[in-house]
Amino acid sequence: MRTDIVTITLNPTVDFATSAPSVYPEHKLRCTEPHIDPGGGGINVARAVRNLGGQATALIAIGGGAGAQLLQLLALEGVPTVAFQGPGESRLSFSVTDQEENVQYRFVMPGPIWTEADVQRGLNSIDQSAGEGTMVVLSGSQPPGVAKEFPSILSQHVAGRGARLIVDTSGPALFNLVQQRNDAVHVLRMDDAEAEELAGRALTKRADTAAFAKDLIDRGVAANVIVARGADGSVLCTAEGAWHAAPGSPVEVVSKVGAGDSFVGAFTLALAREETLPECLKFGVAAAAAACMTLGTRLCEMPTVERILEGCLLEEI
């Protein structure tokens, strides 16, 4: 089934995932053969959509040999791409799992520094890719040199094209975004730590999270707000009400890499298929849980998502 989804990745990465018997300093660590995937928030969202039977176009900035490798990896996975020239060399990131302690170390590079010309080139590519009814997903970190106002600037571009914007960002960009009205931000997602930092207080109960999200909606920050609560699932707040969804049974966590992107991919795909927002929330939660059960940089897999979805609990707050 075709869906009109475009994901944006300004700071893509080639992800290497490996493991070692034990991780400790000052010695050569003999690792397993690495699993190599294209990475970065928007890329992973598009990959998740693909895994779930949909289609999303990944709009990415590329540079150098790593950028060429990204395009090759995405082509092998059957993910449509629109690439534009970014500065320097696309970044590399890697994760190492300590087999003895069953813990994961994640090393994330900053990426090349952008100029205003690079930003404008990216906006031009977005303008050409987004149209009436397009769902534009901005996910992942911003590269150095991109102003914290970028999500707000992007929302203005999206609004002028009749598209809907879904934002999953962090750091200064998120803090800037919640300080102003954004009529074109259809969905804003964040995790519980980010929500508590923005709220300036602990959000211990689900009702606390819902109240915080409702305040953002009332201030016009976004039309709908989602806050992930880790193992406790996620809370969705709209102008009509608030809901909580979580897996019906505990999930065995193998790797949390890609869980958030799997949520966004599933939520966006369900939204494009005109499911209700609470049903979109359930699908997203099931996909995030499924991603936690996979190794390294692998994302959600449809059979696991379907199994979790059957027992997923949804309740109105």
Q: Which residues are identified as catalytic?
A: 261
CA distance 193 to 190: 8
CA angle, 273 then 9 then 32, to 5°: 100
Q: Which of 194, 307, 300 is nearest to 254 (CA)?
A: 300
φ, ψ of residue 19 to 5 degrees: the values are -145, 160
CA distance 273 to 74: 24
For the chain, what is the radius of gyration of the CA atoms?
A: 19
Burial class (CB in 10 A: 0-12, 13-18, 19+), 31: middle
φ, ψ of residue 201 to 5 degrees: the values are -160, 165
Q: Which two tokens stand for residue 305?
A: 């998502």
Q: Which two tokens stand for residue 94?
A: 């890697």
**DSSP letters for 142-189:** PPTTS-TTHHHHHHHHHHTTT-EEEEE--HHHHHHHTTS--TTEEEEE
The answer to whether the CB of 136 falls within 8 A of the CB of 123 is: no
